[in-house]
Amino acid sequence: MAAPVTAPAVAPPTRPRFFYGWVIVGVSFLAQFGGTIAGMYGLTVMLVPMSEDLGWSRTSIVGANIPASIIAALAAPFLGRISDRFGSRVPMALSGVVGGLSIMAIAGVHSIWVYYLIFGVVNGITRPMIQVIGISAGVAEWFQRRRAQAAGMVSLGIPIAGFVGVPLAQFLVISFGWRATWFVLGALVVVLVGIPAAIFWRPRPEAMGLLPDGDVAPPPLAPGETAAPRPVEARGRFGVHRTTEDWEPREAMRTRAFWVLTIVLPVIALAGPAFMTHIIAFFISRGLSPQSAAFASTSFIIGTFVARFLWAWLSDRLHIQYCYVAMGALATLGTGLVLISPTITLAYIAVLIFGVAAGGMLQLKLQIWPDYFGRSNIATLRGYSAPFDLMGGVGGPFFAAWVYDLTQSYNVAFLVFTVLSAGATLAILLLGGPPSRKPEAQQQSA
Check pLDDT > 80 for residue 281: no
Query: Could you tell me if 240 and 182 lie in one domain?
Result: no
Higher pLDDT, 55 or 228: 55
Q: According to DSSP H, which parts of 190-234 are helical?
A: 195-200
Q: What is the pLDDT of residues 75-119, one digit of tens each?
A: 999 999 999 888 899 999 999 999 999 999 999 999 999 999 999
Q: What's the CA gap between 34 and 103, in Å, rounded? A: 12
3-state SS, one letter per residue, for 104-142: HHHHHCCCHHHHHHHHHHHHHHHHHHHHHHHHHHHHHHH
Residue 7 in domain: no
Residues 371 and 241 sit within 8 Å (Cβ to Cβ): yes
Residues 310 and 356 sit within 8 Å (Cβ to Cβ): yes
Check pLDDT > 60 for residue 141: yes
Bridge partners (DSSP) listed for residue 243: 233
Coil vs helix vs strand at 241: strand
Query: Could you tell me if 247 and 106 lie in one domain?
Result: no
Residue 3 in domain: no
Residue 228 in domain: no
Query: Could you tell me if 108 and 239 lie in one domain?
Result: no
Q: What percent of the chain has pLDDT over 90?
A: 31
Residue 107 in domain: yes
Give the model's pLDDT for residue 219.
Answer: 57
Residue 13 in domain: no
Query: Could you tell me if 61 and 135 lie in one domain?
Result: yes
Rounded to 5 degrees, what are φ and ψ at 4? -65, 145
Query: Could you tell me if 199 and 267 lie in one domain?
Result: no
Domain of residue 286, residue span: 233-445
Any idea of the CA torsion for 80, 83, 85, 90, to the nearest 10 degrees? 150
Q: Predicted confidence band at 229 (pLDDT cuts at 50, 70, 90)?
A: very low
Q: Helix 134-142 crosses helix 89-105 at what angle (to 10 degrees)?
A: 150
Number of domains comprising the chain: 2
Bridge partners (DSSP) listed for residue 407: none
Q: How many CA atoms lie within 13 A of 434 on its CB side?
A: 28
279: exposed, middle or buried (Cβ count in 10 Å: 0-12, 13-18, 19+): buried
On average, the pLDDT of the chain sits at: 83
Residue 213 in domain: no
Q: pTM for the whole thing?
A: 0.82
Q: Predicted confidence band at 328 (pLDDT cuts at 50, 70, 90)?
A: very high
Q: Predicted confidence band at 217 (pLDDT cuts at 50, 70, 90)?
A: low
Total Cβ atoms within 10 A of residue 48: 13
CATH number of the domain enclosing 114: 1.20.1250.20
Q: Predicted confidence band at 446 (pLDDT cuts at 50, 70, 90)?
A: very low
Q: What is the pLDDT of residues 425-434, one digit of tens each?
A: 999 999 877 7
Q: How many residues does the chain have?
A: 446
Total Cβ atoms within 10 A of residue 243: 22
Query: Could you tell me if 322 and 437 lie in one domain?
Result: yes
Greatest CA span in the chain, whole angstroms? 101
Check pLDDT > 90 for residue 193: yes
Residues 370 and 246 sit within 8 Å (Cβ to Cβ): no
Query: Could you tell me if 94 and 242 lie in one domain?
Result: no
Query: Could you tell me if 196 and 278 lie in one domain?
Result: no
Query: Could you tell me if 149 and 283 lie in one domain?
Result: no
Query: Could you tell me if 179 and 318 lie in one domain?
Result: no
Q: What is the pLDDT of residues 356-406, one digit of tens each?
A: 998 888 888 888 999 899 888 899 999 999 888 877 777 787 788 788 878
Residue type, 277: T
Higher pLDDT, 213 or 332: 332
Q: Measure Cα distances from 268 to 221, 356, 396, 424 in Å.
A: 48, 13, 11, 6
Query: Could you tell me if 204 and 237 lie in one domain?
Result: no
Check pLDDT > 90 for residue 312: no
Query: Could you tell me if 48 and 156 lie in one domain?
Result: yes
Q: Predicted confidence band at 227 (pLDDT cuts at 50, 70, 90)?
A: very low
Q: What's the CA gap between 93 and 104, in Å, rounded? A: 17
